[in-house]
């Protein structure tokens, strides 16, 4: 799952609008030049007349086509450039206007193989949509693997962090890999940060990622589930939830526990596993607490189908705040 059909249509409609705007701008430029340089209009007319004549002769296979005098087109083109420059305009002033010259405002570029691929300008818009639907806007700026710091932990804590980083990088590099990750351990040790690093990598590759805190996820599900008028909304929400390339559930264990939460968590894990879509969970609970808090089938699903990454050590956020105090 990447862009929805409506999102793709919105981007392509944007290209149509851009082409229309640039065409109008081109027409306005040409009218200005015709007004300021009357000879230019005459040259355009002569060029059109000659081109039409050449096409007609070639189609008729007329013998006179081989007796045509010197081709005047290069001379006319050069004269037009000279007139523009003498009037203070660049020589290419009346060339077609493109906001993106690479794809000529179509969104796609043609490869030497004859295949088409998305232009970089299309990919930037696609990425913007993906970030928008991910719930991650504004919280990913520093969540990059190159920003990982090992200075706040030592010994076994540091080794665990290095192992979790290695697993996270491999997960992002080989995605879609069909794997799931569980980051668990003490508060402030980098669990959410590593989830964000992975999300950044995958969003930039064009994968669909969605982030929920456990509280917001289950509150949303409950709101739709217990509203008799929201059946279609619930269906669409769950359909998307089960089909995103990656779902991140942060701070599992902070939500108010109920049988509804337990059943919805199992449904999420089960449905996504059947579809071979990956899930990342972060929690401050240890494995025993996770088993005691949720049903045996939830814990069994997590312990069997998730790669477990334990993180321990000091609260990095607290250390950073203390270091910032003068």
Specify whether 149 is located in the same domain as 78: no
239-248 pLDDT per residue, tens: 888 988 999 9
Identify whether 21 is part of a domain: yes
Specify whether 161 is located in the same domain as 74: no
139-161 pLDDT per residue, tens: 666 788 988 888 888 899 999 99
Distance (Å) of CA 182 to CA 12, 19, 258, 261, 287: 38, 47, 21, 18, 10
Identify whether 123 is part of a domain: no
Distance (Å) of CA 43 to CA 76, 231, 251: 7, 67, 71
Q: Which of 219, 223, 284 is nearest to 250 (CA)?
A: 284
Q: What is the mean pLDDT of the chain?
A: 86
Identify whether 1 is part of a domain: no
Specify whether 29 is located in the same domain as 174: no
Identify whether 285 is part of a domain: yes
**Structural domain count of the chain:** 2
Q: What share of the chain is helix, strand, coil (3-state, %, to 5)?
A: 60, 10, 30
What does the pLDDT average to over 282-305? 93
The answer to whether the CB of 40 falls within 8 A of the CB of 34 is yes
Say what the pLDDT of residue 129 is. 76
Say what the pLDDT of residue 63 is. 53
Lowest mean pLDDT among 72-76, 175-179, 318-322: 318-322
Measured CA to CA, the distance from residue 203 to residue 134 in angstroms comes to 9
Q: Which one of 48, 70, 99 terminates a domain? A: 99
Say what the pLDDT of residue 319 is. 62
CATH number of the CATH domain containing 223: 3.40.50.300
Task: Tell me what percent of the residues of the chain surpass a pLDDT of 90.
Answer: 53
Half-sphere exposure (Cβ direction) of 206: Cα atoms closer than 13 Å: 12
Say what the pLDDT of residue 74 is. 86
Identify whether 127 is part of a domain: no
Measured CA to CA, the distance from residue 196 to residue 148 in angstroms comes to 12
Using the structure block, give the residue that is written with the tokens 């000659």. 50
The boundaries of the domain holding residue 81 are: 16-99
Specify whether 79 is located in the same domain as 193: no
Specify whether 307 is located in the same domain as 174: yes
């Amino acid at each position: 799952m990447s862009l929805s059909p409506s999102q793709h249509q919105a981007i392509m409609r944007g290209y149509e609008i851009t082409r229309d705007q640039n065409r109008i701008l081109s027409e306005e430029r040409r009218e200005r030049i015709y007004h300021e340089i009357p000879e230019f209009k005459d040259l355009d007319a002569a060029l059109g007349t000659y081109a039409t004549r050449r096409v007609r002769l070639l189609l008729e296979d007329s013998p006179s086509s081989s007796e045509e005098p010197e081709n005047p087109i290069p001379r006319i083109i050069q004269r037009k450039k000279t007139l523009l420059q003498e009037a203070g305009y660049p020589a290419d002033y009346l060339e077609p206007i493109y906001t993106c010259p690479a794809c000529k405002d179509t969104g796609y570029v043609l490869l030497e193989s004859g295949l088409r691929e998305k232009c970089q300008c299309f990919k930037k818009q696609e990425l913007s949509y993906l970030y928008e639907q991910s719930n991650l806007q504004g919280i990913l700026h520093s969540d990059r693997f190159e920003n990982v710091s090992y200075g706040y932990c030592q010994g076994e804590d540091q080794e665990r962090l290095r192992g979790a980083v290695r697993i996270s990088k491999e997960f992002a590099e080989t995605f879609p890999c069909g794997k799931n990750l569980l980051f668990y351990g003490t508060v402030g040790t980098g669990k959410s940060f590593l989830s964000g690093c992975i999300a950044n990598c995958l969003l930039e590759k064009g994968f669909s990622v969605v982030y929920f805190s456990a509280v917001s996820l289950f509150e949303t599900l409950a709101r739709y589930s217990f509203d008799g008028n929201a059946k279609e909304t619930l269906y669409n929400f769950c359909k998307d939830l089960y089909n995103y390339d990656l779902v991140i559930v942060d701070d599992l264990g902070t939500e108010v526990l109920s049988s509804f939460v337990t059943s919805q968590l199992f449904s999420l894990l089960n449905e996504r596993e059947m579809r071979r879509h990956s899930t990342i969970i972060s929690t401050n609970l240890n494995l025993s607490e996770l088993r005691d808090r949720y049903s045996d089938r939830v814990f069994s699903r997590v312990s069997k189908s998730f790669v477990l990454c334990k993180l321990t050590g000091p609260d990095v956020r607290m250390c950073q705040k203390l270091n910032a105090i003068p």
